[in-house]
Structures are given as structure tokens and as C-alpha cells.
Structure 1
Amino acid sequence: MTPPSIDAHVRLDPHPTHPSAVMATLTGTQAHIPHVGLEAANWDAVAENTLVLARIDHDEPHWAAKAVRELIAEGITVEIAPWLREAIDVDWALATDSKPWSTLAQLREIFAEAQTIFDDIRHGRLLIHAHALDSGTTVAVGTYLDSGKSVHLHGEDRRRQVEHIFDSPAQALVAFERLHGDTMRPGPAPMTDTERAAAEARTSLSAPPTEPEPPGPGPETVPAYAADPGDHDALLDEFLDAHGEWSKWRTWSDEITHAIHESQTLRIERIHDAPAHETAWTIAAYETPVSDRTWHLTATSTTPAPVLQELLHHLADGDGLDTAVGGAVDEKSVTAATKPLLEAGWTHTVDGRWIRWTNPSKDAGVLFDAFAAQKPNSALTTWTIWAGPSVDHPTWALHTSPHAPASMLAGLATELAHGTGTRRPLHPGTTQRCTRTPVATTPPVRSSLPVQTRKR
């Protein structure tokens, strides 16, 4: 039976910047009909009546062909660009991954499962708690919010797969920490090049400029959480010059600087060339010079200068132990730490173990993990201060252990809510490349610091 004619026309073309992505342009008085069908098949709308299919398995031509068959069956006219028709016929995307033991259908099944995991993460159905490196391969632990099942993931991009399934987040996190505690980091891993390329294809159809662009506008005043990182090394040098009670320790490597308070109970580790979105600062406090660490904080290399200055200002006061050590974090300390956010009108929500404070524009926030707060000796992050697209993919982030001082957190919260800074737009075409190299977060001990230079 011939399907009824629908006044809709779909033209499929290659994406202007992504090598394998497919773009669909819809016209006709009933263009909304194929629009709904394509969105249901994981095509993303990037403009009015324009959708893009960008996958991490690079098999867009195959899935575009599947969409074509379904559209034609519905009575919708489809036009396919010559290049795309050739790609559909060749199946080039999977040729480089063929193995003697695998057929094309088997590979597609593996890659489709990896794509489903990726889509579940980016759509918020799968919450990633932490990631780590296992012999150079990225692994992660997360929870499906609809079923409550938790999983261990292994691999990246189209080779990512579910390795283990658990009945609860606690079981999954304990097992993950036991297996990967040495390289474990909170939240999802930085986006891979493949993930970033797919994300860019879903948000823009603009081709890269062929000629140099004119200089952009000058710096603008923005909220502190959106400011530029500035020169972190210069900020540390200024801090040490102004506070003689801090000593700068020279190590055998020029890549790391250590600074220690004269009490020997506050320490800073600064990694100078840390990749974007990786840890560049570790600050730790100790009850005595020879005791175990009582609290610590890490900051990424993209942390805005005003936020970092506020953090250093707190350290200058030498007040590192205003949260009781040894017990669980109580409601009083949480209230004190977040009071500036509530007074500034930030939204306060509770979602199971997670307590969130989010600014009105939803591009900055504070996340408190009540589960981690009850386990002071765990490697899990208790406080996450972030800004960017989301807490799972922040532009920058600070992570703290359970007993981080409430006064320090309140100072940072005040800076987030009321502080300002400057931001200079990146020159068109400028990008920052993220790597997966793990960085040390253990503060130095005196025996490993052979040379001392005193700042006065």
C-alpha cells in the first residue's frame, strides 16, 4: 500500500566542518513531521528546520541511510547529496576497525552500545561519579538515574563498554575506589577529541574562517566565576612576596612549586603546565606538622583569577582548621558555608545524596555530597564548586574533602555570588587541548624538599 503523500522535503548533506556528520534540511508545510522523527532518532536541531547527526562511532552514513528508509516509508521526499550517497554505499567508517573475528554487524552492535552510553551521559540519564586511568585506558563509575543501577565503564569513544553492574552507587564506588584509588578523580573524564568534535558539530554549522579575523573586543567585566584564569604563577609569586610566613621550596623539577606555611600545617602544590581542566593546585592542611592530612582542596588550571585570589586570601589568614576534625560534617557548617549563595538568590535543591546551589543563569554552582561527607577518610569529593555548561562538564572546578573550613567555603561562595573579574574573548580558532595525564595530589613532605628559599 502506497503511503499518503506528506508535504515535507528532506535534503541530506555532509556537515560543513565535521568529516562524517550529516546535516538534514527540512522544507514544506509539514516539515514538523520528519523533524519529530529525526529528533527521536538522536538527530539534534541546530537551527530552524535544520538537524545534525553527529556520532562518536563515525558511522553517521549508515544511520542516515536507516533514517532515509523510514522517511520514505512515511511518504516523505528525501534528497541525498552525492558524497553522502557514496559514503552510504561504501561503509568506510568501520573499515579501519574490522578484525578477523568480527563482522560488520558485530562491530556496529559494539559501537552502537558505546554510542548509547555516550548519549545517556550527555542527556543526563547516566550520572558519572568519578573516573580514573587503568594502564592508560579511561575507566569510570556512574549510576543510571532511572533504574538506580550503577556501572563501571571501560574505554573511550566507540570502544567504551559496561564492565560491571552494581545494585547501588555505594557498592560501585567502593569497588571502583579499591581498584583505581591511585588515579581516581571526581566527575567525568575530560571530553575526548572525538566527543568534542561531535559536540561542536551539534551546536554550529559555521565553517572555520579562511582568513584571519580582526582583533576581538577588549576585556569585559563579568562575574568572578566567568573571569579569565589570568597568570596563576604570577598570583602565587605575589602571594609569597606579600606573606613572609610562607616559604617557597625548590624541587629537582621546574614543573612543580611547593609552598609551606611556617607552622608546617598548610601546604600548597602548584603544577605549572597542567592541561586545561586538570588539577593545577592542591592545598592541604594538617593538624600538626607530622599528622595526617585533615582537609585538602584541588583547583583546575582554568580556575578564574578572582576565585583563586579569594582562596589565597583565606590561606594568608592562616585559618585552616575551623571545621571539627574526626566527625561528620554537620548542618551548621553546611549552612555557614552556603549562606552567601542563599542570600544572593541562588536556587537550593536536594536530590538524594546531592545538595545543589545554582545561580539564576545556571552556569555556576556548588554541589555538596552528603554521602561523602559522612566518610571523612574517603577519596570522594564532598564539595564541588564549578562554573560552565554543567557540573559534569565544567569550564573550571574546585573539589574539597569533607573538613574543608566553612569560612573558606563561605568566602568562595561570596566571591561567586558578588565578585567580578575580567574576561577577554578567545581569538577565533583558538582551542585548548585536554589530555588524560594524571597529576599528583599528595602534598610534599619535608624530607623530599632538599632546598628552601625564603620569601621576605
Structure 2
Amino acid sequence: MPYAPADAYVSFTLHPNHHPGVLATTSGPTSDAARSHLHDRGFRSTGPDTMVLARIDREEPYYTDRSANELTRYGFTVDIAPELQEEIDTEWTWADYPMPWCTPEEIRQASADAQRIHDDISTGRLTVHLHADDGHNTVAVGTYANGVRRHVHLHGENHLRQVAMAYEDETEAVAEFHRLYTVAVRPGPAPLTDLEQSVRRALCGESAPPPRRQLTEAKSAPPAVAGPGEHEQFLNALFESSQHWAKYRTWSDETTIASHESFTVRAEFDHEARHCTDISWTIAEYDGPVGERLWWATITAGTPVPLIHAITDHLDVPLPVDAAEPHTPLEEAGWSAASHPARTTWQAPNRSVVFEYTPHSADDRWTAFGGDDPNRPAWAIRFSAGVPHDLLIQLTAAVAQGGGLPLAAVRQAPPLPRIPPHLPQPRARVR
């Protein structure tokens, strides 16, 4: 067991830009020995006297506690900041963990395995050849530089990534990956997730970038939010003013189905949605009356009614559009854009509304939300892959025209026009 004099000192604090990452500061004649121990426990140097522990499984406090206990046994003087100690003493679980029956120890072990895969990719020990989006998760195929399972299929992202299959032959692994995911296959590794980028910045000693989607320094205006009962009133107006939608009640009084006379579009309204972020509308379009679902959308209870009106107008009688891309109306209205390997966002000049395109997501390919914080939106409209661009253009035109107005301005806007009774055109849906 190595000996460390009393003047060897290690201080642990929370990382200021990567929560719950940990900073370790070393000093004293034997600080090199302390740094060697920390390196073996996953800490990486960012300066002569500083090291960082940043993991994609968010278990930095747990592994810091183990490292501190080990250093203490070796004779080093260790200090843990109070806020970090609070994190160490706090028990937590992943709120949306897909296997809730797992014990905390089993979850930690699965996360540690995902961390090893992440480290193998980061260090080049595991080379990713191809990736794809299977509609729910990111999948990939890669080759280890050495080891028994040289060629592997990977499934999931961040702390959920795991080895799904192992092959002894690279050609077989790649061919099977192409067979499973066909046209969704893309070359190379998938774009880094937000968490992976944050980990990389922390390990490189870089400061945090400006918060995502906060594209300007102007003061944010409060986003417009639908008031109580406004969605109910719009639903009733839809049935009263248009002969193209039929009303159906389900076995429960909690929901109402609006079915278009083309039998290719259905909208389900949840009367029990109360909170502004509860899903109140689910809309889907199908390839014929009994065909496959083409796309779907969800709309939360706080969404301004004019935006829902724009969507139903297009589903009823599509209007001709002259814009080239869904975001064209936003750019013409002076919205600022920001590109990211995983997404592109457009933000209203007053930062009250954001429109986002996520090319690698199947469920949330296009999203519009109120406010400038994606984790606490005032309302949200989410479209899956496959949604027609002319529908998005009609929506973004409505967003650019009124979606970014302050709340008072929207409340004073003129009432919505009655839906015109035109004949429908033929139609082909915690940590």
C-alpha cells in the first residue's frame, strides 16, 4: 500500500458547468500519486492540479465517494464540498428508466457497462461503422480493436447503450445491420447526444456554451398560452362550422374523436387535460381508410388555439404554399437560427417561441414550443417523421404571424373566422 504524507491534499467539488460532474484539485509533494489513483477511477486531467470526472451515467457522486474513501485509506487528506456531499448522500433513480423492475444496483451495473462502451468509442478502441434510427432508439454496428466480441451491434444512447449482438465476422455484422435497418442506415457514428457533448466539454476543460435555444440576449416575452376552456370551445366550433368532421364519443367521457369525412384523418381530444403541458390533442393521418399511419402529432393543453386552427385548416382544405421549406416563413419573419449536429432551431425575436427540427428523431421530428426552455415549455406541438411539409409551412406561417406575440396581444386579437364549408380535396397521421 503506498504511503502519502499528511501534506498531500485532494479537494472534491461539483463541476460548475456539468452537473453532477466533479472537479478534483490536488496539492502537496505526492499529488502525482493522488492523481494516478484518480486517473484509475475515471478522472481526467484538465490542468496541472485539476482533474474532472464526467460520466454519461450521471454517477459521478457515487464514484467520487468511492475514490475519496480509497484515498483516505492510503493516507491522503481529502475534503468534499458540502454541496457534493449532499449529492453523494442523496438516493435517486432514473425517472424514465425503461426497466423499472431493476434494483438500483442492477441499474448502476447496466449504466457502468454503457459507460465502458462510451469510453471505448471515445478512445478509439471501438470503431463505429454505421448507425441508424429504428424509430425508437439509436442503433449502430462497430468493431473492437481487440477482444473476444470483436464485431457488435449497439442499441440505445447514453446510459442505456448496450451490446445487442456480437459477431465473429465483420462482413456478417455489417450485412445483418443493413438487413435489419435498410434505408435508415447512415455512415459513421450517430451525432453526439447533448449529454455526450457536455461530458466531452467537461473533460476537455471547456466552458459551457450558451443555453440551448437561448439564441439572443434580449429579454424573453411571456409566450401566449390558451386559457381554460378555449380548446373545448374550438372543438365545438369545429363540429358546428364544418360539415367535414364527425363527432364520436368513446366508451369513456374523457375523450372525443373527430373523424374527417375522408376517413384518413382522426383527431382525439382529451377533456381531462388540465396542465398546460398535458397532451390534449392527438392527430394522425393514414394511407387510406384502413391503411398504415403516415404521421402523427401531439398538442398540449396550453397551445394557442390559432395554431391548432392552422393545423385543422390544412387537414380540411390544404392551401397552396409558396415557401420552399417549413422554416422559410420563420426566416422571413426575422427569426434567428442555430445549427447543431443533432438539431436545428429557430427562435422568435422576443424568445417567446421556438421551432425545432431533429432529423434523427422519429417521434419528435418537428417541434414548436412556447418559451425558451425546452425542459419547461409553456406548450408544445410535436410532429413525427412523415408529416407533410406544406402542413408545417402553414403552421410556421401562423406561428410567425402570431405565435410570438406577448400574451396580452394574443388575447386582444380578433376572433377566429368560421371554418369555411368548402368541399374537401381528395387525400391520399429526473435526470
TM-score, normalised on structure 1?
A: 0.47
TM-score, normalised on structure 2?
A: 0.49
